[in-house]
Amino acid sequence: MGKEIERKYLVRSGEYLTLADPIYFHQGYLSTDPERVVRVRIEGDAAKITIKGSNVGITRDEFEYDIPLEDASYMLNNLALKPTICKYRYKIEYKGFIWEVDRFINENEGLVIAEVELDNEGVSPILPEWIGDEVSGDKRYYNSSLVKNPYSKWRGDK
User: What are the beta bridge partners of residue 120?
Assistant: none
Q: Does domain 3-153 have CATH number 2.40.320.10?
A: yes
Q: How far apart are CA 83 and CA 77, in angstroms?
A: 10
In this prediction, residue 158 carries a pLDDT of 47
pLDDT of residue 58: 74
**Rounded average pLDDT over 77-99:** 96
Q: How far apart are CA 11 and CA 98, in angstroms?
A: 15
**Average of per-residue pLDDT across 107-134:** 93
The per-residue pLDDT for 155 is 59
Active site residues: 29
- Give the span between the Cα atoms of 149 and 108, in whole angstroms: 9
Supply the pLDDT for residue 156. Answer: 58
Predicted confidence (pLDDT) per residue in 53-79, tens digit: 887 777 788 999 999 999 999 999 999
Quick one: average pLDDT of 142-151?
A: 93
Rounded CA separation 132/14 (Å): 12
**pLDDT of 10:** 97
